[in-house]
Structure 1
Amino acid sequence: MEIQFTGLPAAQVARIRKDRLDAYGNPVEVHRAQGGAYPCRHCLGNTPEGHDYLILAWRPFRSTNPYAETGPIFLCADECRAAKPSSQVPAMLRAPSYILRGYTEDERILYGTGRIAQTPDIPAHARDLLEDPQIAFVDIRSASNNCFQCRVLRG
């Protein structure tokens, strides 16, 4: 099975950059990238050193059901090229491990699918999860802070 790692939708990112509001309607924070990695969830790369980035609350779901997790993310403050869906693990995923969870079409966690996976094992685990027809997508989150990283879809 082919899989695709995807970043945030360009239209939603453009709205955030224009309105400067997060999932709660709060103003986004603007900071300068200095001496660290600030992975943009739109281009799936790091904000360039010396450039501004945004910190905001993000909810990667259409609905607000009990499973619609919200958490902090980074975005390049300046326009950046949307990541093309790819079968390759995004370079921004540099931690040793991440949480993967399978979600149903109605955006609910399918119990038993959550797992901490070592970064090199992410594609195989995502494929295994997406073999289940009940799973519509897999979200990847930080294993240490639970921040949303990207989504995996069937290719």
Structure 2
Amino acid sequence: MSNPNPGKPPNGQVDVRGPRFAAWITTAVLALVLVISVFSVPAAAILLAVQAVVFAAGALSGPRRSPYGRIFAALVAPRIGPTSEVEPVAPLRFAQLVGFVFAALGVIGFAAGSPVAGSIFTGFALFAAFLNAAFGICLGCLIYPVAARLLPKSAATATQNP
């Protein structure tokens, strides 16, 4: 989708490069969680819990105000020029919520002494993050229209606010 004002995305939209940047960081963090889990399940649980907080921030405040979104805006965006393509915020917030659920379930698995369960949920989140980072395929965004139809109107409207 083209942006008529290439300087800054309009309200309810974000530069497509920001979520992909965040997905690359997320991919690295989740891959590190899986590697660390081989040596120290508690350390893996802590790192995954930190990533869960990042997902929660993205789901609650939107991609621009999430920790990785702020890094993109401060360090990356000024160096790569104005945006020419934008995407809506609501599906991205939903995708972050899905990431949070998988990360939280992974933390619970690790904390309950089941590194296999923790690794499986981490692997699901890693797969989704990598698809977004490498190929621009946001699984949560693809699921969002179905979820939006199932949610009550007030809840669907709340997820659309940036």
Scaled by the length of structure 2, the TM-score of the pair is 0.22
More strand by share: 1
